[in-house]
Amino acid sequence: MRTSEVDILIVPGWSSSGPDHWQSRWERTLKTARRVEQDNWVTPDREAWVGRIIESTVQSTRPVVLVAHSLGVAAVAHLAGRIPKGFLSGAFLVAPADVDTASDWPESDGFRLDAAASGFAPLPLDPLPFPSVMVASSNDPYCKIDRATVLANAWGSTLVEAGDLGHINGESGHGPWPEGVLRFGSFLSSLSE
């Protein structure tokens, strides 16, 4: 598959993705990409987030590939148990947020996520009903690489250990993230096989 053949739904994480974040850049440059907007980015609600992803998928006119980051990855994991096989063509999962250890996360703009109250914890460990690739960093403060490995194995995702990239966001220097574009292109190609 090529980008022109799919609807790319950008699924940001907690507090969304700022204008310099690689997800925002992809949204601006990939013609078939659009952001899944949430009503509340700072005090998320799992049911609302999952519902919005389903709603955006239903409105799509081409096969759908999700591009999720951080808490968006957790939303995709929760979504998986509510959709039939074939509903999504695939998911590109980047820097998963381990909501089960959210109390250990650093503050974000003075906020802390209450993962249990938001419904995101615990993370489901059932296989995803669509192909997926997970890109994880070895020094991500939101998810240790050992936990990312457990999640990828449980979900049936191909794990890409990307090295010391932090949370793979603007703050860690990944605005343009050309390596991510190449990995995403490779993932889309694999969906045609």
Instruction: Domains for the chain: give ranges and CATH numbers.
Output: 3-191 (3.40.50.1820)
Q: DSSP assignment, residue 80?
A: H
Residues 147 and 48: beta-carbon distance below 8 Å: no
E strand or H helix at 177? none
Q: Model pTM? A: 0.95
Going by pLDDT thresholds of 50, 70 and 90, the confidence category of residue 129 is: very high
φ/ψ bin of 180: left (φ > 0), alpha (ψ from -120 to 50), beta (otherwise): alpha
Nearest residue to 46 (alpha-carbon basis) of 117, 107, 148: 117
Q: What would the pLDDT profile of 39-96 be if each residue is shown by its tens digit?
A: 999 899 999 999 999 999 999 999 999 999 999 999 999 999 999 999 999 999 999 9
Residue 97, classed as helix, strand or coil, is coil
Q: What is the pLDDT of residue 158?
A: 98
Residues 129 and 166: beta-carbon distance below 8 Å: no
